[in-house]
Amino acid sequence: MSSRTCPDWPDLMELAPELQFKHYAVAELQLPADALMRIPDVPLSDVAICADVEHNVFYAGHTDERVAVALRSSHWFEVRDWIRAGRPGQAY
């Protein structure tokens, strides 16, 4: 487990064991431009996102609310929405 690992990982593992959530500064990630355009006044190096970057899934409980709202308008999913949608992009 790394220092970036979400402290809620036991709960997240129960929800979606195939995902690995880590904490990042938004500036570290290459988030979609359409989402970033919705938060022009947010200092991206100062706000956090908790996400499984490989699957484009974030955890709203540990993601800046402004970023979460912006991501919902992109191809990213909040973990509960990802589960309800049938785990898009997941190979079975």
For the segment 60-85, what is each residue's pLDDT rounded down to a tens digit?
999 999 999 999 999 999 999 999 99
- Could you tell me how far CA 24 lies from the centroid of its own chain? 9
Give yes or no for a contact between 78 and 68, defined as CB atoms under 8 angstroms apart: yes
48 within some domain: yes
pLDDT above 90: percentage of residues in the chain:
85
At residue 90 the predicted structure's pLDDT band, cuts being 50, 70 and 90, is: low
90 within some domain: no
- The rounded distance, in Å, linking the Cα atoms of 50 and 60 is 7
Range of the domain at 77: 9-84
Task: Please give the tally of structural domains in the chain.
Answer: 1
91 within some domain: no
* Start-end of H helices in the chain: 9-15, 33-36, 65-72, 79-84
Amino acid 87: pLDDT? 86
Give yes or no for a contact between 58 and 77, defined as CB atoms under 8 angstroms apart: yes
More confident residue, 16 or 90: 16
45 within some domain: yes
- What count of other Cβ atoms lies within 10 Å of the Cβ of residue 71? 27
2 within some domain: no
53 within some domain: yes
14 within some domain: yes
